[in-house]
Structure 1
Amino acid sequence: MSEPSTPTSSSSSPSLSSIETPPPPGTPPNLHQNTIDPQAKWLVQKYGGTSVGKFASQIAENIVPDYLDRHKLAIVCSARSGSTKALGTTNLLLRAASEALQRPPPASSPPQSGAATPLTDSLICRSSRTGSPPGTPGSFAEQCTGSFSKTVDLILSEHVAAARACVNRKKLLAELETEIVRDCENLRAFLSATQVIDEISPRSKDSIVGFGEKLGCKIIAAVLRDRGIDAEYVSLESVVPPHDEVDGTLGQDFYDRVSDAFAERIRQCKPRVPVVTGFFGPVPDSLLKQVGRGYTDLAAALLAAGLGASELQIWKEVDGIFTADPRKVLTARLIPVISPEEAAELTYYGSEVVHPFTMEQVIRRKIPIRIKNVENPRGGGTVIDPEADLESPESSPLSDFDSSSPFVDGILSNGVVNGAGTPHQRLPTAVTIKERIVVLNVQSNRKSVSHGFLAGIFGTLDRFGVVVDLISTSEVFVSMAIEDVLDRKLQARLVRDLEKIGIVSVHRDMAILSMVGKQMRNMVGIAGRMFTTLAQGNVNIEMISQGANEINISCVIDGRDAVKALNLIHQSCLQIKPEGLKGRVGPWLF
């Protein structure tokens, strides 16, 4: 069956949709714009859902104005977060998509004309679609009998409330409310159509999720204009160039062309400040499937790469990357500079830094990534520097190690010498913990040769879509650490299939402890120090793994020992003194 077409805003829409066109005559000349200095480079800022949801005024008043006179600024926004995770816009949109496929309840009698309905004061656009006010019998809204309609109302009310909380100019607020209602009614119509055909394809789900970035960007653009900044709302969903799939995947050539297309669209905005949607569908086989929910970070990275930006800034609610989780390790410290390799390892093992593929798009163009805090905009943050010389003591985040430690004396011969001839110890950069881990042990039943044993295991994992974090193998025995994301029924099916291959044992509530550092390469004794420290702390080790790049040593431990182990390794191997805590420590990025 054919799919419903993706809804778009009416071409007659006033207000924020018209921001995508050149400024009309009479635009106030005093609006703050991007610098017109031809020597100024682009700077791309990406704001996450919590920043868009809670700190829109802070962004417009205390962050963006500081950059306009020195840079050509482009802003990329995620969908707004909610007061709880379940009320986040993307989660609500996915919930509405699921509800649209549920069988609607039996039709009930329409409400009496004139009856009070929620959001009556803000649903000002329904009359433009139906020719009658909200609540009128037979109106479009009353035809949407599925529970998804209530979820759309919730999305609408959340965004209208956000707009009223941070936009002061009445005319601008009225235009923004009209735009929000129009988008939500288009969403409602789209979901109603999918309910009729009883199907939502991956591409349709992309379109539904894309509403979140549109709404978030329109609010940020309006708040900026309200504060005197000449902002322009830009949607990237129609910018993606034609593409060819190779084996169901997209190659780097596709992303390079997307990067160039993004840059060309944004250059048309100058000197206005573009506020850009992180959603950039349609993408073959679904944006969510190809990239995942981190597509907003990827959009910002592709834009920065295409513009040749001086820097990609990712604004969060933390000061940057820390040596450990400061909620669990009181002596954790901010790392001012980190290498892409280290950041990638931290992401793999429990940290929420930047996805390695996203990082690659800008690092390959020699563009640094800076992680900054919307609540502390003057802070330096953490720079993921493609050319960081972390072998020098000046750039080491942990250069003031405790030289009185007996461990220092034991490994000082592995250090480097700076220009002044002073010995400098190589040290790990950070220690991280990934909790909610399940360990699967499979012992061969010896009915198959070794290559059949391993092939059977990996084939089974592939059928269930299981990603292995750590693995330890021998000819007849395999131990695997996986994230505990499968429900119990699916886990039971996975174990039953593995039992066809060998004897299976399962250990739940485990954790992966990882020590990461570029300076750990060829460092003699650091692994021994790590495991000795855990043994002295009475922490049992279930598995051990070291990556081929030699910048990560990981082990699996009981989840109940996670915080204790984290503190032991942070103090012993990273050599950070208790009084060494400096700077602002907020919720950990990892």
Structure 2
Amino acid sequence: MSISSSSSSSRSSSLSSSPPRTPPNLHQNSIDPSSRWLVQKFGGTSVGKFAVNIAKDIVSGYIDSNKVAVVCSARSGSTKALGTTNLLLKAASEALARRPKTPSGYVTPVSSGIFGRTEEGSQSPPLSSPRGAEAYPWGPASGMTPLATSSEPALPEFYATVDLIRQEHFNAARVSVKDIGILRELEVEIERDCEWLRSFLSASQVIDEISPRSKDTIVGLGERLACKFMTAVLRDQGVDAEYVSLENVVPPMEDLEAAEDGTLDQEFYDRLSDAIGERVKQCGARVPVVTGFFGPVPGSLLRQVGRGYTDLLSALLAVGLDAAELQIWKEVDGIFTADPRKVPTARLISIISPAEAAELTYYGSEVVHPFTMEQAIRQKIPIRIKNVENPRGGGTVIHPDPEAEVEDDVGSVPEPASPLALAMLSSRASEAMKQLPRHPTAVTIKEHIIVLNINSNRKSVSHGFLAGIFSTLDRFGVVVDLISTSEVHVSMAIEDGLAKKLLERLLRELQKAGTVSVHHDMAILSLVGKHMCNMIGIAGRMFTTLAQGKVNIEMISQGASEINISCVIDARDAVKALNLIHQSCLQLPDTLPTPKGIAVGPWLF
């Protein structure tokens, strides 16, 4: 087995001078020179619940005709609170939590003396002081009190959290890996990584600081554990997998400069994708299992990218390998015309444009982060959303050219395309059909929204009215989802994520510009579709439908991109509004005519 990586990390046991021998019965990537790479990214829930299925039913099904690279997020736990990333962040917080500082298990009592009051828990010189124990004769006669009857000092609080991480991975390994040799090697790796974490947090506790880059390293341990776990499961299922750590892959930054706002520019990501691609190609015929964590970056990885850096890494890897496709595996079949948990008639979308997918992400649907999507799409690499529980399904393709015909999912058996998809995408469809106005693509809802209304209190409105409002929002770090303005009135929809006291301070500042009213428990309803400007009457249909359903509209906004029409409604009406709009604007007729005589029904307008 090879859980090893060529990373120079001193805490990995992977520093063998030559790669381990590969048993002859292990399944490897295709060696056909014409085979192209596929990058498969698996989320934490998929790794936590379906690791064996991923190895047996998904990866094994692709590597005969393709070269597959696997990227894993930190695995989820048996509950959300026991998710690896959450536990790592908790351990980091516990390492910095305030606690009494004690010498060798003793605390200083509260007392008065010639030097005034001694604070409880203040630190005294240690027994190992150069002046010797005689200079500080702690004990019963000195007035010092033992913390406990045991001579051993209490363990730091984060030790218990690290033990939870260790036990969660041990349990998963023993359920998923049957080969005793592979299991034992994996357990050694888990134990070693957890011991490193304890040491790292202990050092952080001593200096009473965890820098942003140190926090990156702590959180990155989740991906390393997940990838070692997935490597072991793949080899247990007969796939010749190799763990690849990217902790030291970031190229030198001497000749690269961050943008004025501190963010990294595109040149950095281009060079990073090349470096990642070259590292993964060194695996030869083995299936690389790649960590989503790619080491220290200027300004901290969590600050620059956020917790979605694993998705970004998979896109950069796809670019570096010039992959045929980036596959993001979730627990849903793909992107739907609406949330199928709330709208029973929602349909799977077979192909969608990047702009539409980005709008759906912004307004409540968990698709792919727009920046991650941009890295793959700008290199003309399609992104396919697939379901780990239904690997034979075709999923949804986010295609750089959505007018093009989409190839079948390589190495898998796609679902039959819907009649509409065939009519719209097939080269056999008439050219006239392609020129017709399209129907909307999807409807989505974003809940937990607050609406702020600001009316100017000045008789003569100054030119700084809007500037003052937006500068205030900038100081408080508030992101505006929707806005509607006039000369004396501004309505804004923002996410309800501010702490109560922070929101109160924001409102006090905004009241300097005018009268402020607040509406809680609102939701943003968005109808998304490419070429919305050509859909004559679609806005009228949307708002008429809501009016007939007695859904009150607080504010309306049509995006400047002409990709969506959005409005703010009461959160109590969210599910009803979703179903009404889906039925009115997105519901297809029961049957479609044959291509010879395609008729355009009223559902297109």
- Is 1:370 aligned to 2:384, yes or no? yes
Q: Output the CA distance in 2 between the equivalents of 1:103 and 1:266.
A: 43
Residue 259 of structure 2 corresponds to which residue in structure 1? 246
- Displacement of 1:470 in angstroms is 0.3
Residue 182 of structure 1 corresponds to which residue in structure 2? 192
- Is 1:550 aligned to 2:562, yes or no? yes
Query: Which one-letter code corresponds to 2:250 in the other structure?
Result: V
- Could you tell me which runs of 5 or more consecutive residues in structure 1 were left unpaired when the two chains were aligned: 1-6, 111-141, 402-416, 581-590
Tell which deviates more after alignment, 487-496 or 536-545.
487-496
- Displacement of 1:246 in angstroms is 2.8
* Equivalent residue in structure 2 for 1:153, among 163, 167, 172: 163
Q: Output the CA distance in 1 between the equivalents of 2:512 and 2:71.
A: 49
Residue 296 of structure 2 corresponds to which residue in structure 1? 282
| Residues 462 and 575 of structure 1, relative CA distance in 2, 3 Å threshold | same
- Displacement of 1:445 in angstroms is 2.0
- Displacement of 1:437 in angstroms is 0.3
* Equivalent residue in structure 1 for 2:243, among 217, 233, 239: 233
* Equivalent residue in structure 2 for 1:300, among 304, 314, 320: 314
Q: Output the CA distance in 2 between the equivalents of 1:386 and 1:9.
A: 38
Residue 198 of structure 1 corresponds to which residue in structure 2? 208
- Displacement of 1:99 in angstroms is 1.1
The answer as to whether partners of 1:180 and 1:215 remain within 8 angstroms in 2 is yes
Q: Output the CA distance in 2 between the equivalents of 1:157 and 1:108.
A: 31
* Equivalent residue in structure 1 for 2:534, among 508, 514, 522: 522
Report Cα offsets for 1:244-276 as digits up to 9, x if no partner.
323211100000000000001001011111100
Question: Where in structure 2 are the equivalents of 1:485-500 lying within 5 Å?
Answer: 485-500=497-512
Residue 87 of structure 1 corresponds to which residue in structure 2? 82
Q: What SS class does the counterpart of residue 386 from structure 1 fall into? A: coil
Q: Output the CA distance in 2 between the equivalents of 1:280 and 1:449.
A: 51
- Displacement of 1:379 in angstroms is 0.3
- Displacement of 1:486 in angstroms is 1.0
Residue 483 of structure 1 corresponds to which residue in structure 2? 495
- Displacement of 1:283 in angstroms is 1.0
| Residues 169 and 391 of structure 1, relative CA distance in 2, 3 Å threshold | closer
Question: Where in structure 2 are the equivalents of 1:389-408 lying within 5 Å?
Answer: 389=403, 400=420
| Residues 399 and 454 of structure 1, relative CA distance in 2, 3 Å threshold | farther
Residue 360 of structure 2 corresponds to which residue in structure 1? 346
Question: Where in structure 2 are the equivalents of 1:35-114 lying within 5 Å?
Answer: 35-104=30-99
The answer as to whether partners of 2:241 and 2:289 remain within 8 angstroms in 1 is yes
Q: Output the CA distance in 2 between the equivalents of 1:9 and 1:171.
A: 24
Query: Which one-letter code corresponds to 1:533 in the other structure?
Result: T
Report Cα offsets for 1:466-488 as digits up to 9, x if no partner.
11100111122111101111121
The answer as to whether partners of 2:553 and 2:567 remain within 8 angstroms in 1 is yes
> Of the two, which has the highest radius of gyration?
2
- Is 1:332 aligned to 2:346, yes or no? yes
- Is 1:166 aligned to 2:214, yes or no? no
| Residues 489 and 18 of structure 1, relative CA distance in 2, 3 Å threshold | same
- Displacement of 1:35 in angstroms is 1.0
Q: Output the CA distance in 2 between the equivalents of 1:79 and 1:579.
A: 44
- Displacement of 1:578 in angstroms is 8.2
Query: Which one-letter code corresponds to 2:259 in the other structure?
Result: V
- Is 1:223 aligned to 2:233, yes or no? yes
Q: Output the CA distance in 2 between the equivalents of 1:281 and 1:208.
A: 11
Q: Structure 2-normalised TM-score? A: 0.82
- Displacement of 1:27 in angstroms is 2.7
Q: Output the CA distance in 1 between the equivalents of 2:405 and 2:533.
A: 11
- Displacement of 1:145 in angstroms is 2.7
* Equivalent residue in structure 2 for 1:419, among 427, 430, 435: 430
The answer as to whether partners of 1:62 and 1:377 remain within 8 angstroms in 2 is yes
| Residues 296 and 84 of structure 1, relative CA distance in 2, 3 Å threshold | same
Q: What SS class does the counterpart of residue 569 from structure 2 fall into? A: strand
Q: Output the CA distance in 1 between the equivalents of 2:543 and 2:179.
A: 61
- Could you tell me which runs of 5 or more consecutive residues in structure 2 were left unpaired when the two chains were aligned: 1-6, 106-151, 407-416, 422-427, 593-605
- Displacement of 1:146 in angstroms is 2.4
Q: Output the CA distance in 2 between the equivalents of 1:53 and 1:18.
A: 28
| Percent pairwise identity | 72
Q: What SS class does the counterpart of residue 23 from structure 1 fall into? A: coil
Q: What SS class does the counterpart of residue 378 from structure 1 fall into? A: coil
Question: Where in structure 2 are the equivalents of 1:26-41 lying within 5 Å?
Answer: 26-41=21-36
Residue 532 of structure 1 corresponds to which residue in structure 2? 544
* Equivalent residue in structure 1 for 2:273, among 242, 245, 259: 259
Query: Which one-letter code corresponds to 2:19 in the other structure?
Result: P
| Residues 82 and 107 of structure 1, relative CA distance in 2, 3 Å threshold | farther
Tell which deviates more after alignment, 255-264 or 143-152.
143-152
Q: Output the CA distance in 1 between the equivalents of 2:76 and 2:221.
A: 13
| Residues 185 and 107 of structure 1, relative CA distance in 2, 3 Å threshold | farther
- Is 1:311 aligned to 2:322, yes or no? no
- Displacement of 1:83 in angstroms is 2.2
The answer as to whether partners of 1:324 and 1:430 remain within 8 angstroms in 2 is yes
Q: Output the CA distance in 1 between the equivalents of 2:533 and 2:35.
A: 39
- Displacement of 1:520 in angstroms is 2.2
Q: Output the CA distance in 2 between the equivalents of 1:559 and 1:307.
A: 45
Residue 454 of structure 1 corresponds to which residue in structure 2? 466
Report Cα offsets for 1:464-510 as digits up to 9, x if no partner.
11111001111221111011111212111111111122211100000
Report Cα offsets for 1:149-177 as digits up to 9, x if no partner.
11111111111111111011111111111
Q: Output the CA distance in 1 between the equivalents of 2:52 and 2:326.
A: 21
* Equivalent residue in structure 1 for 2:486, among 446, 450, 474: 474
Q: What SS class does the counterpart of residue 29 from structure 1 fall into? A: coil
Q: What SS class does the counterpart of residue 342 from structure 1 fall into? A: helix
| Residues 62 and 438 of structure 1, relative CA distance in 2, 3 Å threshold | same
Q: Output the CA distance in 2 between the equivalents of 1:520 and 1:391.
A: 22
